[in-house]
Amino acid sequence: MSGQGLSEIELQIMWNRLLSVVEEQAQTLVRTAFSTSAREAGDISAGVFDLKGRMVAQAVTGTPGHVNTMARSVGHFLDVFPIETMKDGDVFVTNDPWKGTGHLYDLVIVTPTFKDGRIVALFASTTHLVDMGGVGQTPEGRQIYHEGLFIPLLRLANAGDMNEDLLAMIRANVREPVQVIGDVYALIACNEIGSRRLVSMMREFKLADIEDLSEAIIDRSRRSMAEIIAKLPKGAWTASMRIDGYEAPIDLVATVRIGDEMIHVDFTGTSGMSSFAINCPMCYTEAYTTFGVNCLIAPHVPNNAGTLDAVRVTAPEGTIVNATHPAAVYARSVMGHMLPDVVYGCLDQAMPNRVPAEGTSNLWTLNLIAGHGLTGIGSKAGSAFMVNSFHSGGAGARPAQDGLSATPFPSGVRNVPVEATEAITPLVIWRKELRQDSGGPGRQRGGLGQVMEIASREAAPFGIFARFERVKHPARGRHGGGNGQAGRLSLASGKELPAKGLSVVPPGDRLIVEMPGGGGMGAPAERDPEAVARDVRLGYLSAEAAKRDYGPAGD
Amino acid sequence: MSTRTRLAVDIGGTFTDLVLSVGDATTSSKLLTTPDAPARAVIEGARAILAEAGVAASSLDLVIHGTTLATNALIERKGARTALITTRGFRDSIEIAYEHRFQQYDLYMDRPAPLVSREWRLEVTERLAADGTVLLPLDESDIAGLVEILRQERIEAVAISFLHAYINPAHEEQARALLAAAMPDLSITISSEVCREIREYERTSTTVANAYVLPLMDRYIAAMRAGLTEMGATCPLLLMMSSGGVCTVETARRFPVRLVESGPAGGVILARRIAAMGGYDRALSFDMGGTTAKITLIDDFTPQQSRHFEVARAYRFAKGSGIPVRIPVIDMVEIGAGGGSIARVDELRRIVVGPDSAGSEPGPAGYGRGGEAATVTDADVILGRVDSRRFAGGKIRLEPRRSHNAIAASVATPLGIGVEEAARGISEIVDENMASAARVHAVENGKDTAERTLIAFGGAAPLHAVRLARKLGITRVVIPRDAGVGSALGFLHAPIAYEVVRTFLVRLDRLEADTIDKLFDGMREEAAAVVRLGAPSGDLVETRTAYMRYRGQGHEIAVPLPASGLDPAALRAAFDQTYGRLFGRIIPKLEVEAVTWTLSLSQPSEQAAQQAAPPAADPPEPGDHWRIVDSGSGETVDALVFERSRLAPGMQLSGPLAIVEAGTTTIIPSDFTARIAADGEIVIEGDAA
């Protein structure tokens, strides 16, 4: 191997510094990006690559959806634009869901870094844009063509000259052109910061290239992952989980094989694609699967080509977790968020008492809207608005801890304050509180969901674009733990609403969103009676449910 | 001001520092903190230091006091029995928090429990809309119903936080009046007074934190005041705030949450003064002690301010794991990097340093008190940077053998390298960690660390400052005199100041100029009422900031406003300028809105005149030679050793050398020079890397 030219300490210092470089790159992007998910959820990615297209370092950011999607994406760029053809000042772009990060809303930008006239590295970054045209932020698209502007792998700047034709095309196709173009520049700028910091690091450490350093980091990472995996029990384990789906229930089936140096996760047996936009491209399936595995076996290991290659993910083409063109994929997170749960179903058999029970997993993002064509015709639709407010149900119980209430997993988003939502819309949120009895009973209780009750101050309707899971099929407990309570979407006047697609709340009525609870862990009878009594005292559990679910201990 | 007789007292977790300033002379002392009765150490220490200086208590002009008591009460959960009263449907806001996992890869993460348990979170019927109109009036019978519960549960303090109270405080004030009438001894904090700002979780959290520490701080400050009066000191007592300003006893007793983290703020005030004296308009304050390092940007002699702060982080240094308080603070990035930070090797065979610390008990392996952990201090010992006989003024006798063995066991052997090389790795990694945090902090603020002056204090800082500087592209480092009592020294120079905040969400294109003037008039009146308690006369400096954003964004940026002429065009221009600086571009046609406004009134900062360079003087004979490993190159050099007490202004020295004093050692590598400036500071300069 190369990399022997570096002393142990030099390698360590430079590795540390590279992680700092991509962290600066990422922070530049978080600060400048426009979309709520970028700012509130850190739904961005930033990393540095060697000239072989291998990711050497990636910033730790908020959501796992980009864990290795962006890493793969650089390889696709190099296939079209070989290293030797790249010039200083070039910038490349795509939002291809299959070669980028899973849907048209994510833009990937790649910038080559030059030092003393020679290309030395590539920086890549991704963020979720405010808009990409098409039918908008709804799971109701039927084909990728409905979902907006598709940008193949293209040159965005040629030796410093921006491709104005492409920018004009983007501007003409999106609802918020100023913000979208602003984000394009934010991505370019963050790669520039990364490049500049890398070049000054190379000068400080007197490096002509980073190939030895990259080789050493990736090799060290690969060997360490192999050592970690070698200590795990060997074998193959299969688990399945049925979820609501859109038009029909979906079975997610995974088989985890732990080999001597690698883990292979295969989704054979999983249901086929949906007609709606909950299909998941393979790259995004890889991201959430790898994230789930790594949380368990290597939570402190940084992502790079060496660590990510230790987990191999496959799925038959045409399954909902390896959706093919022209499937609609906008809401691919609905599927992606469920994958760690089914992977944990396998790993729980291999390594009992390590993984959590199933949780809400899917985000209960309230995408609330009003406007012509959506909630009525013309002025009868009410004042037009659109807000995206992230919220979460309960997470699964852990082997020695209750599940987290109203907390996302595997996603890493933050909520939007009620006061902030009310300040920019005519909405009033009358209630936002933990949902009693929603946590699955168990020795460790599942996390509680929450209830929100929403009305408009205007005598006008408003709508919700729903894409909620765990309404028909709740989060299941493990090892005797009970299921979490299923979610529910309804009107205060009584009518139940579908959990996927657009529903309109009539004037004067209220929308009631009851978010699911997480599954329990272990038999409820084994729960510490004091914990049951505390749950009742604090109102997490009603006296009736305590009696029903925990028997004598609940009395 | 400098001719007056002043006493500064800083109560820290372990030590209580006192500094007495009479004219231009200062004397200092260090005592152990007495956690059970903290005022006692202060009063005893004050008597002693006054006696030693031959100053009568009655001739004191001012006592300035900073304390970690409020912070400790929050960390140790030792505050009052506190209840929270919220709008019906929202008692869980403080528990649901941000609905966030602050440790993304940690399946076993737990969020810290709220300060108020759910059974004491009570709801009343009332509701305001976002524009302040009443959707539901306050149901007075609900309040009456709560009184019985509060009595039964022996509640000492109540926090009231209603939705949208930042725009209309009427319901909170009405609820407080009703409660106070029924329970006159109850201490009540309302959100519209302590944090009049949008975002219910953070406002409620701040309100609860204030209520939680209020009874304790009220008793403490009263005891302190009484103790001073008893010993004959009838002068005013001022309290240090986290903003770097001081306030009167009255204000401190109402808003004790503003006193958290006041000690570190004092250190930054000292750094600010050093920057002013040296004319360093772009500086970086660097405070490194036993467990943490704290870094602050100081531009144009003004420390960077913020309104985001988290107390009692459950996961050391993890953003989002603590109790958020929205108060004016000096913006510090805190890193788990200190002398006691523990080094180990992770599963990728990387050296990891901190954030966990061996603390002072049992402390680093080299302390010989039973600690096994290899720490930064142990690495410094192996690299030859500290005199093992004189560490911490000789109070701790280091045992280099133990440092050697600990580093061998936890780093060198696992990596198959020598102990000296491992020690260099530990030192370099901790310096990289601090440099990385500083750079990211600067980037987040649209600034850069390069070419600043690093002002370093705290026991471990002078050992690492030059190496850190080099990693940040900094070529000048200043080590102040008496850096061990830096915070208390800083207190002496803190201005009386107070900041008021209001949320008033408005689009600039719909704003009428006199609306903002009226808003600021009201805020000025409120701030003046507080500041004039301590500074009845004299000029005050007014600073106004608007927190603004493009419409559609979720976060605001702090925009400094001009002193006059606040029409919408001027606001837009100020926004564009700040946005451009932070992000390198503006977005011309997008609407801009302002969300929150602050106004602060402050005494003018003491004019620390830039000091002329002292005449050159010959350096004394070096005391000794040390073999020091240069952590940059890994080479061993022969360094001259000087006693700091023997160095006088005007002396010039060339590296490699070590300057030793009771609390610490300043390490100067071969390509740097040192000179002693007028006030005894060591100024270290070199070339850019």
pLDDT in tens, A410-420: 998 888 899 99
**Strand, helix or coil at B651?**
strand
pLDDT value of position B475? 94
pLDDT in tens, B293-311: 999 999 999 999 998 899 8
Q: Do A218 and A360 sit in the same domain of this protein?
A: no
Looking at every residue in chain A, the average pLDDT score rounds to 93
pLDDT in tens, B408-438: 999 999 999 999 999 999 999 999 999 999 9
**Strand, helix or coil at B643?**
strand
Neighbouring-strand partners of residue B543: B600
Cβ-nearest to A407 among B101, B585, B689? B101
pLDDT value of position B138? 98
Which residues in chain B are closer than 8 Å to A291, comparing Cβ atoms?
105
Minimum CA–CA partner of A410 in chain B: B104
pLDDT in tens, B478-521: 999 887 777 888 999 899 889 999 999 899 988 887 888 899 99
Per the domain annotation, does A112 fall within a domain? Answer: yes
pLDDT in tens, B58-97: 999 999 999 888 988 998 899 999 999 999 999 999 999 9
Minimum CA–CA partner of A40 in chain B: B554
* Residue A339: Cβ-neighbour burial (10 angstroms; 0-12, 13-18, 19+): buried
Average pLDDT over residues B377-393: 86
pLDDT value of position B39? 84
Report phi then psi at B456, rounded to 5.
-115, 130
pLDDT value of position A3? 43
Q: Where are the beta strands (DSSP E) in A83-129?
A: 91-94, 106-115, 118-128
Instruction: Give the closest-approach CA distance of B296 to chain A in angstroms.
Output: 17
Minimum CA–CA partner of B345 in chain A: A12
What is the percentage of chain A residues whose pLDDT exceeds 90? 81
Which residues in chain B are closer than 8 Å to A301, comparing Cβ atoms?
347-348
Q: Do A366 and A218 sit in the same domain of this protein?
A: no
Asked which of A186, A206, A222 is the last residue of a domain, the reply is A222
Picking from A363, A322, A252, A267, the residue whose alpha carbon sits closest to that of residue A97 is A322
Average pLDDT over residues A129-140: 89
pLDDT in tens, B146-157: 999 999 999 999
pLDDT value of position A1? 36
Question: A2 pLDDT exceeds 70?
Answer: no
Query: Cβ of A9 and B424 within 8 Å?
Result: yes
Q: Do A179 and A37 sit in the same domain of this protein?
A: yes
Average pLDDT over residues B236-243: 93
Containing structural domain, residue A449: 356-555
Asked which of A222, A255, A278 is the last residue of a domain, the reply is A222
pLDDT value of position B581? 80
Q: Do A379 and A528 sit in the same domain of this protein?
A: yes
Asked which of A204, A222, A240 is the last residue of a domain, the reply is A222
Question: B213 pLDDT exceeds 50?
Answer: yes
Question: A324 pLDDT exceeds 60?
Answer: yes
Query: Cβ of A398 and B107 within 8 Å?
Result: yes
Q: Do A194 and A52 sit in the same domain of this protein?
A: yes
Burial B545-567 (b: 16+ CB within 10 A, else e): bbbbbbebbbebbbbebeeeebe
Residue-wise DSSP of B130-195: TTS-EEE---HHHHHHHHHHHHHTT--EEEEE-TTTTT--HHHHHHHHHHHHH-TT-EEEEHHHH-
Question: B193 pLDDT exceeds 90?
Answer: yes
Average pLDDT over residues A204-209: 93
pLDDT in tens, A365-413: 999 999 988 898 988 888 888 888 889 999 999 999 999 999 999 998 8
pLDDT value of position B1? 41
Minimum CA–CA partner of B122 in chain A: A538
**Strand, helix or coil at A372?**
strand
Confidence of residue B28 (pLDDT cuts 50, 70, 90): confident
E strand or H helix at A56, and its extent? strand A55-58
Q: Residue by residue, what is the 3-state secondary structure of B271-336?
A: HHHHHHHHCCCEEEEEEECCCCEEEEEEECCEECEECCEEECCCCCCCCCCCEEECCCEECCEEEC
Query: Cβ of B440 and A355 within 8 Å?
Result: no
pLDDT value of position A62? 67
Question: B393 pLDDT exceeds 70?
Answer: no
Question: A517 pLDDT exceeds 80?
Answer: yes
Query: Cβ of A404 and B109 within 8 Å?
Result: yes
pLDDT value of position B36? 77
Confidence of residue A555 (pLDDT cuts 50, 70, 90): low
Backbone conformation region of residue B391, classed left if phi is above 0, alpha if psi is from -120 to 50, else beta? beta
Which pair of structure tokens corresponds to residue B210? 């204030």
Residue-wise DSSP of B84-135: EEEETT-TTHHHHTT---SSTT-TT--PPPPSS-GGGEEEE--EE-TTS-EE
Average pLDDT over residues A106-133: 95
Interface test with A, best of B84, B88, B98, B99 (most A CBs within 10 A): B99
Minimum mean pLDDT range among A59-63, A482-486, B120-124, B520-524: A59-63
Average pLDDT over residues B3-7: 82
Per the domain annotation, does A283 fall within a domain? Answer: no
Q: Cβ atoms within 10 A of the Cβ of A81, count?
A: 17
Instruction: Give the closest-approach CA distance of A332 to chain B in angstroms.
Output: 20
Minimum CA–CA partner of B436 in chain A: A20
Q: Cβ atoms within 10 A of the Cβ of B280, count?
A: 21
Q: Do A217 and A366 sit in the same domain of this protein?
A: no
Question: B536 pLDDT exceeds 80?
Answer: yes
Interface test with A, best of B86, B106, B107, B166 (most A CBs within 10 A): B107
Cβ contacts of B215 within 8 Å, gap of 6 or more: B79, B80, B156, B157, B187
Per the domain annotation, does A299 fall within a domain? Answer: no
E strand or H helix at B82, and its extent? strand B82-87
Per the domain annotation, does A523 fall within a domain? Answer: yes
Per the domain annotation, does A177 fall within a domain? Answer: yes
Question: A544 pLDDT exceeds 90?
Answer: yes
Average pLDDT over residues B539-567: 86
Per the domain annotation, does A387 fall within a domain? Answer: yes
Query: Cβ of A24 and B439 within 8 Å?
Result: yes
* Residue A116: Cβ-neighbour burial (10 angstroms; 0-12, 13-18, 19+): exposed
Query: Cβ of B432 and A15 within 8 Å?
Result: no
Neighbouring-strand partners of residue A111: A123
Cβ-nearest to A12 among B110, B199, B429? B429
pLDDT value of position A182? 86
Question: B589 pLDDT exceeds 80?
Answer: no
Question: A313 pLDDT exceeds 90?
Answer: yes
Report phi then psi at B206, rounded to 5.
-65, -40
Per the domain annotation, does A314 fall within a domain? Answer: no
Q: What is the DSSP letter of B347?
A: T
Cα angle, residue B66 at apex, residues B63 and B68 outer, rounded to 5°: 150
Looking at every residue in chain B, the average pLDDT score rounds to 90
Average pLDDT over residues B566-583: 87
Contact B580, B557 (CB under 8 A): no
Contact A513, A364 (CB under 8 A): yes
Contact A46, A26 (CB under 8 A): yes
Q: Cβ atoms within 10 A of the Cβ of A553, count?
A: 18
Question: A111 pLDDT exceeds 50?
Answer: yes
Query: Cβ of A428 and B119 within 8 Å?
Result: no
Look at chain A and report how many structural domains it folds into: 2
Q: Between A and B, how many residue pairs show a Cβ–Cβ distance under 8 A? A: 202
Minimum CA–CA partner of A400 in chain B: B108
Neighbouring-strand partners of residue B366: none
* Token pair 């360094």: residue: B639
Per the domain annotation, does A330 fall within a domain? Answer: no
Minimum mean pLDDT range among B226-235, B379-388, B485-494: B485-494
pLDDT value of position A554? 57
Query: Cβ of A295 and B107 within 8 Å?
Result: yes
pLDDT value of position B688? 54
Contact A211, A218 (CB under 8 A): no
pLDDT value of position B564? 76
Interface test with B, best of A4, A12, A219 (most B CBs within 10 A): A12
Average pLDDT over residues A283-288: 95
Question: B202 pLDDT exceeds 90?
Answer: yes
Query: Cβ of A294 and B96 within 8 Å?
Result: no
Q: How far apart are CA A358 and CA B291, in angstroms?
A: 39
Instruction: Give the closest-approach CA distance of A412 to chain B in angstroms.
Output: 6
Query: Cβ of B90 and A432 within 8 Å?
Result: yes
Residue-wise DSSP of A301-314: PPPSHHHHTTEEEE
Minimum mean pLDDT range among A144-153, B159-168, B641-650: B641-650
Average pLDDT over residues B638-656: 92
Question: A4 pLDDT exceeds 60?
Answer: no
Question: B2 pLDDT exceeds 50?
Answer: no
Q: Cβ atoms within 10 A of the Cβ of A413, count?
A: 23
Cβ-nearest to B105 among A182, A299, A401? A299
Picking from A307, A291, A64, A125, the residue whose alpha carbon sits closest to that of residue B350 is A307
Helix axis angle, B140-152 relative to B170-182, nearest 10°?
A: 50
pLDDT value of position B689? 45
Which pair of structure tokens corresponds to residue B436? 């990385």
Contact B403, B391 (CB under 8 A): no
Cβ contacts of A424 within 8 Å, gap of 6 or more: A385, A387
Q: How far apart are CA B640 and CA B653, in angstroms?
A: 10
Minimum CA–CA partner of B583 in chain A: A32
E strand or H helix at B433, and its extent? helix B419-444
